[in-house]
Amino acid sequence: MANHPAVLLIGRRDDVEEILFVKEQGYRVILLNTQIPLEDAIIADFPIEMDLNQEDDVVTKALEISKRIPITAVYTNNEYRIVLGAKIAEALGLKYHLSSEAAQNCRSKAQTRACLTRHQVSPIQYAIIQSPAEILHVLSEMKLPVIVKPSNDAGSHMVQKCNTLEEAWTAAELIRTKVQNWVGQPLEKHILVEEYIEGPEFSVESCTIHGATHIIAITAKNTSALIEEKHLVPAPLSEQDSALIHELVVQALTVLGADYTVAHTEVKLSPQGPKIIEVNARVGGDQIHRLVHAVTGYDLRKLAFHIVTGGTFASAPRDTPVTDSAQIQFLLADQEGYVRWDKQAAQSIKGIEQVESSVRDGDYVVMTESNYNRLGYLIAHGVDGKHASLIMDAAKEAMHFFITKDQDGKVPSSTDRRMGVI
């Protein structure tokens, strides 16, 4: 066992099966995470807790481990740990990995925008500021509305669409008062102010191996106040629009230097054509990998692992698709109040694969302000000739989800505020 190869799993994001499928491929798992729950510690071969924000220490630790255990690959799907994983792979001299430069190009939204603009790939109006006062100058040259967001956070945290100068100032001030992102990393001083792009939003799930990018699926996305509400695979696009999006994503990944990685690229289809919103050098969140797997047969997490262990696209693992459409719907609260819904009614609809929630009927909740405090989700598969969206519509009607200020749980009138099911 001393020479049995191992994979270094950094900042595991999903559930325990992420460890299990690595072990199923015949590798031992060295798990590095800031906190490791007991169930992970039991399954991983070498669970090691340390502060992943201390990146130099983590790289040093990985080098020490490699002297005792042969490390074949570094694997992570955690947005906050993409750069760390790349640095470790480079320090270990591994062959198949995303470069730290490309990882940083994708991780820093400021660097992403600067790189794309420099290469004239999907250029848009934007500015990088470091104080709210600079908003005055920016908005003298940029039309409202604008998007204000931090450069190195994730999950739509502190990302705001601003319709007035006052809103833009407040959004920038909020970011500036924060010193850390969601996982405790120092926030970059850069604050992005970008023109607001009109049009439907999509994400492109792809992989790049030895410089060749393969588009696996395009996901249609719906958002409310920039919080992601639902995703649908495949996106209902014309062949022409699909081709334009394909071409743009390949160009973006090329100039950013992304290679040996699965990518999740967010795009809006504006009246002037597709525009890049963000590029993430990892598997998309929000259970998108499950939708893609159901429709295409490709498990994006396993594909990412296949790539960093030297696999080709031709030899990538692929299962038989189980449906022609798949959708996820998130449950959101548009106000603080009491949750009212019938979970069992949603579960009874044929084609509903899963209903997950952190709340029960009657629970008191606060308003959903980012992807991090949504209340749960439903996953639907197309079945018996019915599209997944129709299945989801039936489930939403059956469960009758709403938030009410009234503790007695009376059914709201048509004018009451409802959200989370669209």
Residue 228 is predicted with a pLDDT of 85
Pairwise pLDDT comparison (151 vs 417), residue with the higher score: 151
> Which of 233, 207, 377, 404 is closest to 305 using CA atoms?
207
207/299 same-domain check: yes
- Where among 162, 195, 228 does a domain terminate? 195
**Burial label, 229 (beta-carbon count in 10 A; 0-12, 13-18, 19+):** buried
Do 295 and 246 lie in one domain? The reply is yes
Residues 360 and 330 placed together within one structural domain of the fold: yes
Does 255 lie in the same domain as 189?
no
Name the domain boundary from 276, 308, 340.
Answer: 308
Dihedral sign for Cα 68, 74, 79, 84, please.
Answer: positive
Q: What range defines the domain where residue 229 resides?
A: 198-308
- pLDDT at position 185, please? 83
When the pLDDT of each residue in the chain is averaged and rounded to a whole number, the result is: 91
Please report which confidence band the pLDDT of residue 257 belongs to, taking 50, 70 and 90 as the band edges: very high
Q: Report yes or no: 171 and 162 within 8 Å, Cβ to Cβ.
A: yes
Kindly state whether residues 395 and 348 are assigned to the same domain. yes
Centroid of chain to Cα 81? 13
Name the domain count of the chain. 4
Confidence at 47, pLDDT banded by 50, 70, 90: very high
**23 domain residue, yes or no:** yes
Please report the pLDDT score of residue 413 as a whole number. 46
pLDDT in tens, 188-218: 888 999 999 999 999 999 999 999 999 999 9
**pTM for this one?**
0.90
Report whether the peptide linkage leading into residue 234 is cis, meaning its omega lies within 30 degrees of zero: yes
CATH number at residue 355: 3.90.1170
Same domain, 33 and 69: yes
Is residue 226 pLDDT above 80, yes or no? no
pLDDT at 405: 86
Question: Residue 7 gets which letter from DSSP?
Answer: E
DSSP 188-199: PS-EEEEEPPPS
376: in domain: yes
Query: CATH number for the domain including 281?
Result: 3.30.470.20
Mean pLDDT for 126-141 is 92
Identify the pLDDT of residue 31: 97
Q: Could you tell me if residue 422 is inside a domain? A: no
- Whether the CB-CB separation of 9 and 18 falls below 8 Å is answered with yes
pLDDT greater at residue 136 or residue 15: 136
221 burial level (CB within 10 Å; 0-12, 13-18, 19+): buried
Give one DSSP letter per residue of 399-413, joined into a string: H--EEES-TT-PPPP
Which pLDDT value is given to residue 354? 95
Identity of the amino acid at 355: V
The answer as to whether 296 is a domain residue is yes
Same domain, 210 and 162: no
Q: What is the pLDDT of residue 303?
A: 97
pLDDT for residue 311 is more than 60: yes
Q: Based on the fold, state whether residues 133 and 225 are members of the same structural domain.
A: no
- Which of 150, 177, 195 represents a domain boundary (last residue)? 195
Amino acid at residue number 210: H
pLDDT over threshold 80, residue 1: no
How high is the pLDDT of residue 188? 82
* Per-residue CA distances from 392 to 44, 231, 386, 419 (Å): 37, 11, 10, 15
Question: Are 330 and 384 found together in one domain?
Answer: yes
Say if 330 falls within a structural domain.
yes
Rounded to an integer, the average pLDDT of 395-413 is 78
- The residue among 39, 418, 116, 62 whose CA lies nearest residue 277 is 116
The CATH number of the domain holding residue 134 is 3.30.1490.20
Q: What CATH code is carried by the domain that includes residue 77?
A: 3.40.50.20
Average pLDDT over residues 110-124: 95
Q: Is the pLDDT of residue 268 over 70?
A: yes
Look at phi and psi of residue 226 and say left if phi exceeds 0, alpha if psi is from -120 to 50, else beta.
Answer: left
- At residue 16, the pLDDT reads 56
- The mean per-residue pLDDT over the stretch 375-383 comes to 96
The reply to whether 205 and 304 lie within a common domain is yes
- Give a yes or no: residue 110 inside a domain: no
Residues 139 and 208 in one domain: no
* pLDDT tier for residue 154 given thresholds of 50, 70 and 90: low
Q: What percent of the chain is modeled with pLDDT above 70?
A: 94
Asked if residue 419 belongs to a domain, the reply is no
The answer on pLDDT for 348 being more than 50 is yes
